[in-house]
Amino acid sequence: MNQYASLLIALPLFSAFFIPILKRISKNAVMPFLAFVTLIQTGIAALVFKEVYTTGKPIIVMAGGFRPPVGINLYIGHFAALFVLVIAVASFLMAIFSIKAVSVEPKDKYAMLFLLLMLGATGMISTGDIFNLFVFMEITAISAYALTAYNKTGEASEAALKYVVLGGVGSSFFLVGIALIYGSLGTLNMAHIAQLAGLINPTAAKVGLALLIFGLAVEAEQFPLNAWAPDAYQEAPHPVTAMFSAFVVKASLYAIGRILYILSAAEGWSSILRLLIILGTLTVILGEMSALRQTNVKRMFAYSSIAQVGLIAIGLALGTANGVSASVFHMFNHAIVKALMFLTVGYVAVELGGAEMDKFEGLGKRMPVTAFAITIGAISIIGVPLFNIFWSKIQLILAALNAQYTWVVALILGASLVEATYYIRLIHTIWFKGEGEKVKENSVLALVILLLVALIIVIGIYPEPFWNVMQKAGNDIFNVAQYVKNVPLMGVNP
């Protein structure tokens, strides 16, 4: 079997525990070690990705050799293989960025929490067990709380406190949801739940699903529970902000999608879809409206990120294969673009001391490469043709039309219009206002930035191969019958 895929979990965990020992040997080795570990993780993830996409079969890792549903299994299908790679690559790039951007001590604890955040997100995406999902979600959440408070300013503590309280309430809800589903079906394995979903008590299914979705909505930044997000994004260290936006949110969104579709045979399922569509719509509207009046650029990007996440949630809740694939495509594109945006804004904030709008005046002359990258990213988010997000927005619109949700089209177009307003305002500030001396840009970071820009443009020009991958990944979530067939369930019957 391909049990080496379990290294995706084991390597970050082992390395995180190794860091306190390493710190005693040499303090300066901690940050390079972080970059090295994330590089190895990227290598393993790339191997897993190649294997899953060449054989077309998921890699199933069984913990301790117990077959599911008795043991816990990891399910690395098309979706998980893709996003494990995205997580690893984003972590690697942010580990490089951390060397420059994080100067507050203690760096060893930063590196540990960084690895645990990566571990938690990887686990959330690859697990096949609903309680294991909760545990990985809490690993992600607790490292995220600690990383938000890492700068030790009053504002950072305030942001972290909001996050902890909301996250604590959310995880309690999630656990109640698990209790309801376990009480009704007597199993925690996702494939087994999907197999038995038709038998579940309709009330338990509805309430349980709603509670699970509310619990995950904290991490996934859906409307009533996302008040922590802009504060945390603004106050967290810059690389961490990029990680939140690039994959922590995506892992929770994926978990929402997975849990939603494994229970699709349950009675009253479509009312939960409507609930998620309403939440997503409110998220988009409020996110875009709040982004419009921000003066801090990092906070503006945070609201913009929330709005995009709302679009992804709507796509997941359309209930069709195309909708799910389109939102997976949007997740992938958004991960690239927002990693780029938060990296560049963080870099500007490190060099010029702050992310307020006036720091960006004359940036085109002071830091040309960074300014160019922000411009490309902004144009891409608005959805201009020949850039990647155009294609995923188009796919979302097509999927919404197919699912008879015509007003979603108006929502997406309206959101793009609002995005155009504030991003073009930012581009105008960067290129046509103010003067300044040239700042020497770090060549490694410039290389990373240009790499991401190149990726945006390549996907924009050749969307087809990427869209094929996304359709496979989306099918992994949508096609529950295939998912159940892939997991070697022991012959346990209700």
Partner 1 sequence: MNPYYFASIALILIGFYAVLAKRNVIKMLVGLSIMETGVNLLLISVGYVSGKSAPILSEGITPDKAVDPIPQALVLTAIVIGVATTALALSVVINLYEKYKTLNVEEIRRLRG
Q: Among residues 160 and 412, whose Cβ is nearest to partner 1?
A: 160
Q: Among residues 22 and 175, whose Cβ is nearest to partner 1?
A: 175
Residue appearing with tokens 């994080």: 102
Q: Which of 135, 50, 41 is nearest to 94 (CA)?
A: 41
Neighbours of 204 (CB within 10 A): 18
Indicate which single residue of 81, 118, 159, 371 sits in contact with partner 1 (rule: CB under 8 A): 159
Q: Among residues 43 and 106, whose Cβ is nearest to partner 1?
A: 106
142 binds partner 1 (CB under 8 A): yes
40 binds partner 1 (CB under 8 A): no
Instruction: Choose one: 1-9, 148-156, 358-366, 462-470; the region binding partner 1 (CB under 8 A).
Output: 148-156
Helix (H) or strand (E) holding 75: strand 73-76
Separation of alpha carbons 143 and 493, rounded Å: 38
Indicate which single residue of 2, 157, 264, 421 sits in contact with partner 1 (rule: CB under 8 A): 157
Phi/psi for 129 (5° steps) reads -130, 135
Q: Which of 262, 324, 212 is nearest to 486 (CA)?
A: 262
224 binds partner 1 (CB under 8 A): no
* Pairing relationship of beta strands 59-62 and 73-76 according to DSSP bridges: antiparallel
Longest dimension (CA), the chain: 72
Q: Minimum distance between the CB of residue 116 and partner 1, rounded to whole angstroms?
A: 12
What's at 429, amino acid-wise? Answer: T
Indicate which single residue of 153, 271, 402, 482 sits in contact with partner 1 (rule: CB under 8 A): 153
216 binds partner 1 (CB under 8 A): no
Q: Among residues 349 and 448, whose Cβ is nearest to partner 1?
A: 349
Indicate which single residue of 2, 201, 290, 479 sits in contact with partner 1 (rule: CB under 8 A): 290
CA dihedral 245, 476, 123, 12 (to 10 degrees): -80
Q: Minimum distance between the CB of residue 224 and partner 1, rounded to whole angstroms?
A: 12
Indicate which single residue of 161, 265, 273, 357 sits in contact with partner 1 (rule: CB under 8 A): 161
Instruction: Choose one: 88-96, 141-149, 261-269, 342-350; the region binding partner 1 (CB under 8 A).
Output: 141-149
Cα separations (Å) of 125 from 74, 233, 369, 395, 401?
9, 22, 34, 23, 29
Contacts (CB under 8 A) with partner 1, residues 228-257: 230-231, 234-235
Q: Minimum distance between the CB of residue 156 and partner 1, rounded to whole angstroms?
A: 8
The DSSP output letter for 129 is B
Q: What is the SS3 assignment for 201?
A: coil
The string of DSSP letters for 243-297 reads HIIIIIHHHHHHHHHHHHHHTTTSTTHHHHHHHHHHHHHHHHHHHHHHHHT-SBH
145 binds partner 1 (CB under 8 A): yes
Separation of alpha carbons 96 and 158, rounded Å: 28
Q: Minimum distance between the CB of residue 267 and partner 1, rounded to whole angstroms?
A: 21
Indicate which single residue of 80, 101, 146, 369 sits in contact with partner 1 (rule: CB under 8 A): 146
Q: Minimum distance between the CB of residue 164 and partner 1, rounded to whole angstroms?
A: 4
Q: Which of 493, 476, 491, 364 is nearest to 427 (CA)?
A: 364
Q: Minimum distance between the CB of residue 161 and partner 1, rounded to whole angstroms?
A: 5
Q: Minimum distance between the CB of residue 290 and partner 1, rounded to whole angstroms?
A: 7
Q: Minimum distance between the CB of residue 325 and partner 1, rounded to whole angstroms?
A: 34
**CB-side neighbour CA atoms (13 Å) of 40:** 16
Indicate which single residue of 192, 250, 298, 299 sits in contact with partner 1 (rule: CB under 8 A): 299
358 binds partner 1 (CB under 8 A): no
3-state helix vs strand vs coil in the chain, percent to 5: 80, 5, 15
Contacts (CB under 8 A) with partner 1, residues 162-201: 164-165, 167-169, 171-172, 175-176, 178-179, 182-183, 188
Separation of alpha carbons 204 and 210, rounded Å: 10
Contacts (CB under 8 A) with partner 1, residues 106-135: 131, 134-135
Phi/psi for 258 (5° steps) reads -60, -50
Q: Minimum distance between the CB of residue 33 and partner 1, rounded to whole angstroms?
A: 24
Could you tell me how many residues of this chain bind partner 1 (CB under 8 A)? 39
Separation of alpha carbons 116 and 121, rounded Å: 9
Q: Among residues 41 and 241, whose Cβ is nearest to partner 1?
A: 241
CA dihedral 170, 171, 172, 177 (to 10 degrees): 90
418 binds partner 1 (CB under 8 A): no
Q: Among residues 169 and 278, whose Cβ is nearest to partner 1?
A: 169
**CB-side neighbour CA atoms (13 Å) of 313:** 32
Indicate which single residue of 51, 158, 267, 361 sits in contact with partner 1 (rule: CB under 8 A): 158
User: Which residues are near partner 1 by CB under 8 A?
Assistant: 131, 134-135, 138, 142, 145-146, 149, 152-155, 157-161, 164-165, 167-169, 171-172, 175-176, 178-179, 182-183, 188, 230-231, 234-235, 290, 293-294, 299
